[in-house]
């Protein structure tokens, strides 16, 4: 059977679209996992601050994990990927600089948090508050509510 040029073009297009979809899903999954890791550690830290957990020894590791994940976050959002299982709003890529400024602030403030000795409870608690506000500000604007 001889394939016509248009059939070949159509097949190529289908192949391309398939690849793009798979790549988009991987992008979405990676940025969600990154946020999830940050969220899990923030929750555990909040539990200690509220006195629901006495695991103070883990605090330095947790803040370090958060700072490291925060530093990777911008690269994970760079590629516009929508349409799968995502809560990301399309505005992210329409106002990229504003969105990215939020991720930059998260990176700066989580690095500061990781540098604070958690036994200095007042300073540590205040900085957790600063970071938490950055999370909320961005989610209110750029993340779909569930
Ligand atoms: C500049 C914007 C921005 C900042 C800052 C930010 N997030 Fe997010 N976050 C998002 C977006 C957008 C999503 C949705 C991602 C998706 O579904 O593709 C998200 C998703 C999440 C999720 C859900 C992940 C999942 O399992 O689907 C958690 C948890 C989370 N963020 C926690 C945090 C915490 C904790 C902070 C602060 C330390 C934070 N985020 C800071 C934009 C941000």
Which distant-in-sequence residues (6+ apart) come within 8 Å of 3 by Cβ? 11
Q: What was the pLDDT predicted at 20?
A: 59
Whether pLDDT at 137 is above 90: yes
Q: Give me the mean pLDDT over the 83-111 stretch.
A: 96
Say how many Å lie between the CA of residue 55 and the centre of ligand 1: 25
**Ligand 1 neighbourhood includes 124 CB (under 6 angstroms):** no
Cα separation values, 72 from 6, 13, 33, 63, 106, Å: 42, 32, 11, 14, 11
**Tell me, what's the pLDDT at 146?**
74
Domains, the chain, in order of start with CATH, read 5-142 (1.20.120.10)
Q: Which atom of ligand 1 is nearest to the CA of 39?
A: 35
pTM metric for this prediction? 0.88
**Residues 31-72 pLDDT 10s:** 999 999 999 999 999 999 999 999 999 999 999 999 999 999
What is the average pLDDT across 75-98?
Answer: 95
Q: Are 106 and 70 in contact (CB under 8 A)?
A: yes
How does residue 84 score in pLDDT terms, banded at 50, 70 and 90? Answer: confident
Q: Is the CB of 31 under 6 A from ligand 1?
A: yes
Output the residue whose Cα is nearest ligand 1's atom 12.
88
What local confidence, expressed as pLDDT, does residue 71 receive?
A: 98
């Amino acid at each position: 059977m001889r394939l016509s040029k248009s059939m070949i073009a159509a097949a190529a297009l289908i192949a391309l679209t398939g690849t793009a979809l798979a790549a988009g899903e991987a992008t979405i999954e990676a940025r969600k996992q990154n946020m999830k890791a940050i969220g899990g550690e923030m929750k555990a830290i909040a539990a200690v601050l509220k006195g629901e957990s006495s695991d103070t020894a883990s605090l330095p590791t947790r803040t370090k994990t958060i700072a490291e994940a925060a530093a990777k976050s911008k690269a994970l959002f760079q590629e516009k990927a929508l349409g799968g299982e995502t809560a990301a709003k399309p505005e992210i890529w329409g106002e990229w600089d504003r969105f990215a400024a939020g991720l930059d602030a998260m990176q700066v403030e989580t690095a500061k948090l990781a540098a604070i000795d958690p036994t200095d409870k007042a300073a540590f608690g205040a900085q957790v508050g600063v970071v938490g506000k950055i999370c909320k500000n961005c989610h209110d604007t750029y993340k779909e509510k569930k």
